[in-house]
Amino acid sequence: AQSVTQLGSHVSVSEGALVLLRCNYSSSVPPYLFWYVQYPNQGLQLLLKYTSAATLVKGINGFEAEFKKSETSFHLTKPSAHMSDAAEYFCAVSDRNNDYKLSFGAGTTVTVRA
Amino acid sequence: DVKVTQSSRYLVKRTGEKVFLECVQDMDHENMFWYRQDPGLGLRLIYFSYDVKMKEKGDIPEGYSVSREKKERFSLILESASTNQTSMYLCASSSLEGGEETQYFGPGTRLLVL
């Protein structure tokens, strides 16, 4: 069965600093991988997705993620944090063995210090 | 833009009440999903539907049922609400686009059962 582990339930960064959110997955077949963001009192918004094309995926708001098969990882980064990046971030995986249903990680809350 | 709407942003109900949560999407998507979101647990799939009048159990269907009479509408029903169903409920829809499937989420309904 597929699963996702997000390392760190809370991350605090200074404005302008690197944002790094870690995601490791397990899947017995090639996965599709997603990062979603949830701002307070809102639904989830797709940041980016990996679907077996380029391993470095660029998303909205300056975020990007790199698929590393050997490490079963899909970490999310942004070079310079902005106050508006304060939100909860979810990593998710799907694959054909599970009819492409999404399995989500527990989420990582990002706070940005001025 | 994909638009997924949910009938209520906040609901307060009493134990034992029958509760209806409505979700409507305007992009003619075949697939619709209901999740609940709880702190530290991420999103968990309750029910999903791949077509009108079709439904499948997700990971945590106990205490819930669903209805999909029209393609654009997917309802979640709590037959007899209990306090452990206090949660944030998120609806999503998706379809295959170029061989890839991406889920789009509504804003969520925060349900409090007293």
Looking at residue A51, its pLDDT comes to 84
CA distance A91 to A63: 13
Partners of residue B104 in chain A, C-beta under 8 Å = 46
CA distance A91 to B77: 28
How many other C-beta atoms can be found within 10 angstroms of the C-beta atom of residue A64? 16
Task: Tell me the percentage of chain A whose pLDDT exceeds 70.
Answer: 99
Distance (Å) from the alpha carbon of A17 to chain B's nearest alpha carbon:
26
Partners of residue B33 in chain A, C-beta under 8 Å = 101
CA distance A113 to A44: 23
Amino acid at position A19, single letter: V
Among B42, B48, B58, beta carbon nearest to A90: B42
CA distance A38 to A86: 9
Q: How far is CA A37 from CA A44, A84, A99, B14, in A?
A: 6, 12, 23, 31
Amino acid at position B18, single letter: K
Q: What's the token pair of residue A35?
A: 């990062």
Better-predicted residue by pLDDT, A31 or A56: A56
Among B42, B48, B107, beta carbon nearest to A101: B48
- A30 — pLDDT class (breaks 50, 70, 90): confident
Partners of residue B90 in chain A, C-beta under 8 Å = 43-44
**Cross-chain Cβ contact A36/B105 below 8 Å:** yes
Q: What's the token pair of residue B113?
A: 């059962």
The 10s digit of each residue's pLDDT in A84-112 is 999 999 999 987 777 778 899 999 999 99
Looking at residue B98, its pLDDT comes to 63
The 10s digit of each residue's pLDDT in B71-112 is 999 999 999 999 999 999 999 998 877 667 788 999 999 999
The 10s digit of each residue's pLDDT in B24-80 is 999 899 999 999 999 888 899 999 999 898 999 999 999 999 999 999 999 999 999
CA distance A45 to A38: 6
A35 Cβ neighbours under 8 A, 6+ residues apart:
A21, A23, A46, A47, A48, A49, A59, A63, A65, A74, A76, A89, A90, A91, A92
Cross-sheet strand order for the sheet of B64-70? B4-6, B19-25, B73-78, B64-70
Distance (Å) from the alpha carbon of A69 to chain B's nearest alpha carbon:
19
**Closest chain B residue to A51, measured at CA:** B100
Looking at residue B1, its pLDDT comes to 67
Please say whether the beta carbons of A106 and B40 come within 8 A.
yes
